[in-house]
Amino acid sequence: MSAPTLPSRASATAAGARDGPARDTEGRAAAQCPHCGTPVEGTADAFCCTGCEVASLIISDAGLERYYAERTAFAPRPEAQGGVDWNALPIARGADGRCETRLMVEGLRCASCVWVTERVLERTPGVTQATVSYATGRATLRWDPAQVDLAVLARRIGALGYRPRPLGVEASADRSLLLRLGVAGFAAMNIMLLATTIYAGWWDGMDQRYAALFQWTTLILATPVALWCAQPFFAGAWSGLRHGVLHMDLPIALGVAILYLQGLVATLAGREGYLDSLAMLVFLLLAGRVLESRGRRRAAEAATALVGMVPRTARRLRSETRDADGTGLAIESMETVAVGDLHPGDRIDTGTGEEIAADGIVLEGSAQVKMALLTGEAAPVLLGPGDRVVAGTVLVDGALTTRVEAVGADSVVHRMAAELALAQDRGTAPTSADRIAPWFTAITLLVASLTLASWWVLRGSDVAIARTVAVLVVACPCALALSQPLAAAAGLGAAARRGLLLRSSDALLRLGHVTVVGLDKTGTITTGTLSVTAATDATLRLAAGLERYSAHPIAAAIIAETARRRIPLPAAAEVREVPGQGISGVVDGARYEIRSSGPGAIDVLGAQGVIGTVQLGDVARADSGSVVQQFERLGVRAVMITGDHSEVAERFGRDAGVGEILARTLPAAKSDWVRQQQASGERVLFAGDGLNDGPALAAADVGIAMARGAASSVLVADGIISTESLAPVIAGIRAARAAERVIHSSQRRSIIYNVLAVAAAAAGLVNPLVAAILMPLSSSMVIWNAARVERIIQAEEACVR
Amino acid sequence: MRAVIFLLPIAIGLGAIFAWLFIAAVRDGQFDDLDDPPERILHDD
C-alpha cells in the first residue's frame, strides 16, 4: 500500500469552517481531524484515531481526495464492527455468474458521502456496479464472486465510517399501479378530446356517421380502462365481499361497472354514454392510489432494513484430547461458526464490544454487560462466573466464556418475540369512508329503485331506465373515496419529512386521537448511549488523549464530549490498553493511567495518584423538555415509564418536565399500564426502543419505536423515528390532526355533491355532458383540498415558534 | 370533415406512442427512485 496522501489542510478547514475554530486551551496550535472534524492538538493533518486514518487512507488510495473539498458535513467516526456474517446473507446470482444484493447504509450525511462510498466500492477489484441512494440509504452492489465477497465490501463501507445493514425483502415497487395509471391517462385524455367534439355537435349538428365513429373510438379506448385499469377496485371490492366487509371499493366498482355497461349499450344504440366520465374517474382514482402507496413505501423500506436481522457469528471453543503422543493433553482450539450452528452445551467466547451470541451461563471471566435491550437500563452490569447471560446483550468491557443453554426457539429473545406476535393482532380499523360505504350503497340503491318505479308510472320504461342509470352513475362516490387516501398520503408525507415514518394511514389517523403518551426513559427520553456527565476540562483532555485509539464505548463518549467542548485531542505515546483493566500512556511527557472506579466512572491517575474522575451515564436528549411541553400543549398527558430506580428516574423526569413518573416497572407492567389506560377510556401512544418495550408498543393504540432501537420493537411499532430526537412525534400528531380536518371537510363536500347530483339525476337533469363536467370537478376539489394539509401544519408550527 | 377519418387514427396513434414510451420507462425502472437522480447530477466522476 502506498504512503497515505493526506488531504490538504485548507480543504479540511474549509469543510469545517462552519463549526468555528477549535478552542486553543494552552496556546498550542489547534487542528481538526481531517476526516471526522474532532479537534486535535498539534500539527495539521493529525488524525484523532486509527479508524479515521484508515478511512482517509482508503479514500486517498482510491484517488478520491476531492471528497474532502466538496463535502458539506464531516464524516462519522468509524466504529468497531464485528461478529457479523455478511456472506450468509441471501445473495442473488445473475446469469453471468455475478452476485447482486442490496444493503442499507446508515450515517450518510451529505451527497459527497454517497459519492465517496460509491467510488470506493467501484474501485474495489471485482466490483462491477455500486450505486448508493442518498434519499433512502439503499446501496445496490454487483460483484464478481471469484474476486471479492460481500464481507469485504461491508468492511470497506464500515471502514469509511458508515454502517452497513442488511436490507430485508424489498417492498415491491408500485410498477403495475403506475402502468395502469399511464394507460388510463392516455385513454382519458383522448376520450376527453372526442367527447368535446361530440358535445360540440349537440349545438352545431354532426353527421351521424362521424358521431358513430367518435362513439365507437371512445368505446375502444374505454374498454381497457374499465377492464384492466380499474381492476384494483374490483379486486378490493371482491376481497371485501368475501370477508363480509362492504368497504369503499364496492360502490366504486359498482359505479365503474354501471358506467361501462351503460356506455356499451348506448354505443350499440348509437347514443352518447358516460364513458368519458368513466375514463376520467378511473384516472383520478388511480392517481390517488399511486400517491398513497408512495407515501407508505418509505416507511415499509425503513422498517424492513431495521428488522433485517444480521446473521451473526460466534467463536466456539473446541477441546480435543490428543492421545496420539500418549500425553492425553486436552488442547483448546477456537472456530468461528454461524450462530445457527450453536448447540446447548457449546462454549463460546465473547470479547469487548461484541454481542453475546446465545443465552447461557458464564463459565470464566468477568465483564460489564449492557442489558438495555432486556431491562431498559443503560448502566452496564458486572457479570462473573455463574451469572446468566442473554443473547443480544453487549459486552461493554471485558471478556467472557459462556456455556450455551438455549438456542433458537427456546431463547429468551425468541420467546419474547412470540409473545409480541400474539399481542400484535391489532387488525385494520375500518376507515370513516368504509363506515359510510354500506349506507351509501344502500341509499343509492333505494333512491335508484324509487326513481325507476316513479318514472315508469309517470313516463314509461325508456325514461325511467335512462334516469335510473343516471342516478347510479352520479352516485359513484369517487370524490368520497379519494378524500381519505389523498389527505392521509399528504399527512404521511409531511410526517416523514419531519422524521416520523408511519406504516399506514390508519396509524396516522389513530395518532391524531391519542390522549396520553407513555415514554420509555432509556433511549427515548434519554439518548440511551454512554455520555460524559461530569468531568473537568483538564481531566477530560488527559482521558481523551489516552482513549483516542480505543474502540471502547467509553472512549467514544469521551472523544464526543471533548469535541463538543472544543478541547483539542492531545497527542499520546506508548498507549497500552489492557481489556477489562484500563489504559496507560504518555501525554505531555508524563505517564498517566485510566482505571475504572465503580460503575459509570473512570479515574485518571498520574504519578502522584488520582488526578480527576470522569463520570459517565445516560443523558436526556437535548430537546426532551420542549417535546414534553408540546405534548401538554396538544392536550396529550405525558407519562414517563422506566424500569430504573426511582431517584434516577425522577431526576430525568424533572429534567424533561414530565409530571407523572412510573419507576421500577417490569417489562410486563408497561403493557399492563397501557391496558389500564385504555380501559379507562384513554387512547394511548407509547414510544420506546428496547425489546422490553415490545409488548407495550404492540398493545398501545399507536406504538412508535426509535430507529436505533431493538429490531423487535421496530417490528411491532406503527411508526419509526428516523432522527435522534422525539420531536417527530409532535410533528406526527400535528400532521394527523391536519389530515383529519381535511378528510372531514372533503368528505362533507363530497357527500353534499353526491346528494345534489343524485337528486338532479332523479329529476332528469343529468346527461353525459353534465356528468363529464361535475364528476371530475368534485374529485379535483378533493385533490386540491388535500394539498392544504402541509399548509395547516406549517401554520401551526409557525404559531408555536 | 372527411379528414377526420385520417386524423383520428393519427392522433390516437401518436398518443399510443407516448403511452408506450411511458410503459417502457416504467418497466425500465425510471420511476422507481425519484429522489436520487437530482442529487446525482451534481457529481461528475
Say which DSSP state A339 is in.
G
First to last CA, chain B: 57
A503 within a domain of the structure (yes/no) = yes
Q: Are residues A14 and A101 in the same domain?
A: no
Say which DSSP state B27 is in.
H
Given a cut of 90, whether residue A696 has pLDDT beyond it is no
Given a cut of 60, whether residue A323 has pLDDT beyond it is no
Given a cut of 80, whether residue A27 has pLDDT beyond it is no
Given a cut of 80, whether residue A612 has pLDDT beyond it is yes
Q: Look at A21 and A356; give whichever has higher pLDDT.
A: A356
- Nearest chain A Cα distance for residue B12, angstroms: 7
pLDDT tier for residue A304 given thresholds of 50, 70 and 90:
low
Q: Look at A78 and A730; give whichever has higher pLDDT.
A: A730
- Nearest chain B Cα distance for residue A762, angstroms: 36
Counted domains in chain A: 5
End-of-domain residue from the set A617, A647, A662: A617
Q: Are A73 and A12 in contact (CB under 8 A)?
A: no
Residue A182: list chain B partners with CB under 8 A.
Answer: 19, 22-23, 26
Question: Is A134 close to B4, i.e. CB distance below 8 A?
Answer: no
Q: Each residue of B6-31: b (16+ CB within 10 Å) or e?
A: eebeeebeebeeebeebbeebeeeeb
Which of B5, B22, B45 to mutate: most A Cβ within 10 Å? B22
Mean pLDDT confidence for A483-497: 86
> What pTM does this model have?
0.73
Q: Are residues A141 and A53 in the same domain?
A: no
Chain A residues within 8 A (CB-CB) of chain B? 111-112, 114-115, 119, 133-136, 173, 175, 178-179, 182-183, 185-186, 189-190, 193, 207, 210, 213-214, 217, 221
Given a cut of 60, whether residue A504 has pLDDT beyond it is yes
pLDDT at B10: 92
Per-residue pLDDT tens digits for A92-122: 777 778 888 878 787 787 778 888 888 889 8
**Residue that has been written with the C-alpha cell 451470541 in this structure:** A357
pLDDT at A375: 61
Given a cut of 60, whether residue A729 has pLDDT beyond it is yes
- Nearest chain A Cα distance for residue B14, angstroms: 10
Q: Are residues A115 and A56 in the same domain?
A: no
Question: Could you count the other beta carbons within 10 Å of the beta carbon of residue A352?
Answer: 21
Q: Is B23 on the interface with A (CB under 8 A)?
A: yes
Question: Is A183 close to B8, i.e. CB distance below 8 A?
Answer: no
Give the Cα separation of A63 and A56 in Å (integer).
11
Q: Which of A447-451, A597-601, A742-746 bottoms out in mean pLDDT, i.e. has the lowest?
A: A597-601
pLDDT at A329: 62
Q: Look at A480 and A186; give whichever has higher pLDDT.
A: A186
A596 within a domain of the structure (yes/no) = yes
Q: Is B28 on the interface with A (CB under 8 A)?
A: no
Q: Are residues A578 and A499 in the same domain?
A: no
Q: Are residues A645 and A632 in the same domain?
A: yes
Which stretch, A34-38, A402-406, A607-611, A734-738, has highest mean pLDDT?
A: A734-738
A95 within a domain of the structure (yes/no) = yes
Given a cut of 50, whether residue A15 has pLDDT beyond it is no
Given a cut of 50, whether residue A534 has pLDDT beyond it is yes
Give the Cα separation of A62 and A332 in Å (integer).
42
Residue B43: list chain A partners with CB under 8 A.
Answer: 111-112, 114-115
Which of A186, A194, A197, A223 to mutate: most B Cβ within 10 Å? A186
Strand partners, A164: A105
Q: Look at A168 and A467; give whichever has higher pLDDT.
A: A467
pLDDT at A389: 87
Would you put residue A629 in left (φ > 0), alpha (ψ -120 to 50) or beta? alpha
Q: Are residues A512 and A545 in the same domain?
A: no
Residue B22: list chain A partners with CB under 8 A.
Answer: 182, 186
CATH number of the CATH domain containing A115: 3.30.70.100
Q: Are residues A631 and A512 in the same domain?
A: yes
Question: Is B16 close to A186, i.e. CB distance below 8 A?
Answer: yes
Given a cut of 70, whether residue A579 has pLDDT beyond it is no
Of A135, A186, A214, the CB nearest to B15: A186
Cβ–Cβ pairs < 8 A, chains A and B: 59
Question: Is B32 close to A179, i.e. CB distance below 8 A?
Answer: no
pLDDT tier for residue A131 given thresholds of 50, 70 and 90:
confident
First to last CA, chain A: 55
Q: Is B7 on the interface with A (CB under 8 A)?
A: no
A233 within a domain of the structure (yes/no) = no
Of A175, A189, A190, the CB nearest to B26: A175
Mean pLDDT confidence for A510-524: 89
Residue A115: list chain B partners with CB under 8 A.
Answer: 43
Q: Look at A228 and A310; give whichever has higher pLDDT.
A: A228
A785 within a domain of the structure (yes/no) = no
Of B4, B19, B42, the CB nearest to A183: B19
Q: Each residue of A618-641: b (16+ CB within 10 Å) or e?
A: bbbbeebbebbebbeebebbbbbb
Range of the domain at A26: 9-70
A454 within a domain of the structure (yes/no) = no
pLDDT tier for residue A330 given thresholds of 50, 70 and 90:
low
Strand partners, A30: A41
Q: Is B31 on the interface with A (CB under 8 A)?
A: yes
Nearest Cα to A232, choosing from A177, A306, A291? A177
Q: Is B44 on the interface with A (CB under 8 A)?
A: no
Of B4, B18, B36, the CB nearest to A134: B36
Question: Is B23 close to A179, i.e. CB distance below 8 A?
Answer: yes
Q: Are residues A706 and A641 in the same domain?
A: yes
Q: Are residues A606 and A657 in the same domain?
A: no
Q: Is B20 on the interface with A (CB under 8 A)?
A: no
Mean pLDDT confidence for A186-211: 88
- The torsion angles phi and psi of A652, rounded to 5 degrees, stand at -65, -40
End-of-domain residue from the set A705, A736, A767: A736
Q: If you count them, how many residues does chain A have?
A: 801
pLDDT at A679: 93
Q: What percent of chain A has pLDDT over 90?
A: 18
Q: Are residues A400 and A510 in the same domain?
A: no
Q: Are A68 and A34 in contact (CB under 8 A)?
A: yes
Q: Are residues A141 and A158 in the same domain?
A: yes
Residue A185: list chain B partners with CB under 8 A.
Answer: 19
CATH number of the CATH domain containing A383: 2.70.150.10
CATH number of the CATH domain containing A567: 3.40.1110.10
Q: Are residues A729 and A637 in the same domain?
A: yes
pLDDT at A426: 47
Give the Cα separation of A168 and A157 in Å (integer).
18
Taking CA–CA distances from A114, the nearest residue in chain B reads B40
Q: Are A164 and A105 in contact (CB under 8 A)?
A: yes
- Nearest chain B Cα distance for residue A266, angstroms: 21
A726 within a domain of the structure (yes/no) = yes
Which stretch, A378-382, A410-414, A692-696, A732-736, has highest mean pLDDT?
A: A732-736
pLDDT at A172: 52
Mean pLDDT confidence for A487-511: 86
Residue A399, all three cell numbers: 471478556
Per-residue pLDDT tens digits for A354-397: 778 888 899 988 887 877 666 656 667 788 898 888 887 777 77
pLDDT at A685: 94
Taking CA–CA distances from B4, the nearest residue in chain A reads A210
Give the Cα separation of A59 and A65 in Å (integer).
6
A601 within a domain of the structure (yes/no) = yes
- Nearest chain A Cα distance for residue B9, angstroms: 9
Give the Cα separation of A301 and A313 in Å (integer).
26
pLDDT at A189: 93
Q: What percent of chain B has pLDDT over 90?
A: 33
Q: Is B2 on the interface with A (CB under 8 A)?
A: no
End-of-domain residue from the set A568, A602, A617: A617
pLDDT at A215: 92
- The rounded mean pLDDT for chain A is 81
